[in-house]
Amino acid sequence: MSENNTPGQQPHQPSPTPPDNDSFWSRHAKLFIRLIIIAIIIIGAAIYSNGRNPKVDDAKLATGDVMTDDGEAAATTAPDEEQPVINVKDDTDDGTKVVVAQEEQPEDTVAVSGNVVTTVVQPGEGYTHQARKALAEYLKSKSSVSLNAEQKIFAEDYLQKNLSEKHRLYSGDEVSFSQESVEASIDAALGLTSSQIQNLSKYVSSVPL
């Protein structure tokens, strides 16, 4: 016989069943294991990467040998290359040190042999540069004539324009000027009028004589 509910009394509700913790962990165990494995792999990769790129110590920097990622020594300076001298100046007003690299002295680029003046082309130079060097060397070593700046500008232009042969110049090429042609350029410069010299004066500041 079924139970009769008392009028006004709420029907009996069954109490909720507490969650089963063992069931939760069993359902998600594989996910946690995968996350742990991924974390281990990431940490291991980071440790391995740091081990393959150690900091370069002062001894290797001093010798110029730096290890590459492939384990081979990479030379930071070319073999048998002459290094410029470094001068350190520490007498500045604020006491800081200033490092100044000593400029390399260029090799002789002009020479006088007999009645010929020979110049050696440097990077970026043309025939006017060669005429300027030849004229300066001749005036210094074989002539007692003194030219002013305007006359030197005229003489070097005269000299390079009257070269018998011209071709494209490359660094290391030699250009020869005869003594006769150099003296002719000097004579032509000495014959300039005052008005011609005045016209050439505007070029003096831009020409390194």
pLDDT in tens, 181-193: 999 999 999 999 9
At residue 185, the pLDDT reads 96
Domain annotation covers residue 102: no
- Which DSSP symbol is given to 184? H
Calculate the average pLDDT of the chain.
Answer: 74
Total tally of structural domains belonging to the chain: 2
Torsion of CA 167, 173, 178, 179, to 10 degrees: 140
Higher-confidence residue: 196 or 32?
A: 196
* Whether 70 and 139 share a structural domain: no
Residue 113 pairs in a beta bridge with: 116
pLDDT confidence band for 30 (50 / 70 / 90): confident
- Cα distance between residue 102 and residue 71, in whole Å: 35
Alpha helices in 53-178 (DSSP H): 58-63, 127-141, 149-161
- Which DSSP symbol is given to 104? P
Percent of the chain with pLDDT over 70: 60
pLDDT confidence band for 156 (50 / 70 / 90): very high
Domain annotation covers residue 199: yes
Q: Which of 30, 56, 78 is the last residue of a domain?
A: 78
Domain annotation covers residue 4: no
At residue 176, the pLDDT reads 95
For residues 78-101, give the mean pLDDT.
42
Whole-model pTM? 0.49
* Whether 116 and 184 share a structural domain: yes
- Across 141-154, b (16+ Cβ under 10 Å) vs e yields eeeeeebeebbbbb
* Whether 114 and 202 share a structural domain: yes
Identify the three-state secondary structure at position 206: helix
- Cα distance between residue 103 and residue 56, in whole Å: 29
Domain region containing 194: 110-206
For residues 74-99, give the mean pLDDT.
42
